[in-house]
Structure 1
């Protein structure tokens, strides 16, 4: 059975209360529940994690090799700063999708730079919480086409 890792970076544990005008009122627990239901409906396994620590995210990416078929990463602010996350994704040789709740290209110029996009098969940005479902469908489609 296909397995997808959904990995969430710093401050996403505060969804629902942190800048709701940008990120909405949906919590990360709500998103996880939505994603798990979607995975069950479409017949694939899902692992869902969050950390505020770059090294923990890197360890989760490394551990994904041999356990998961693809990675969806909302690296949050690390998207724009972390060469280490980019290298970790590249080293797993697993397909990855970069995901953002907000449209980063409509925001501050520093958010227009992504190290993750350089090693991702695609980027989903600006659709809020439903973007997670779009990313799951995109990854599932990518993996099915790659079989």
Structure 2
């Protein structure tokens, strides 16, 4: 997840993150919270474009890989190459794989093995952790 020395390319103090992000973005990206399902406008966003990390603007998912998982969270079957990192999350209901922005370390969501072809993965993301850039 982090660079070899434990430092991300984009680092800020907690106060700097709080100033940059909305309270909901801060809670998800920096405190690993989860937004309520069916609350993100990005869940039903199907226009062409890029989904970028709301913390550092790194493009993390392309619209071509988005699908309706029925979960109430924006879901993708593949990230943009080199955009994310993962770690083990044992916080709820056993072990899950947590997905982070590889540049700032922000918590984006989790990945599961019940997605569509061609990867079989479901990257279940918090919409508040991303922003959509049409194009």
TM-score between both structures, scaled by the size of structure 1 = 0.27
TM-score between both structures, scaled by the size of structure 2 = 0.29
More strand, by proportion: 2
More helix, by proportion: 1
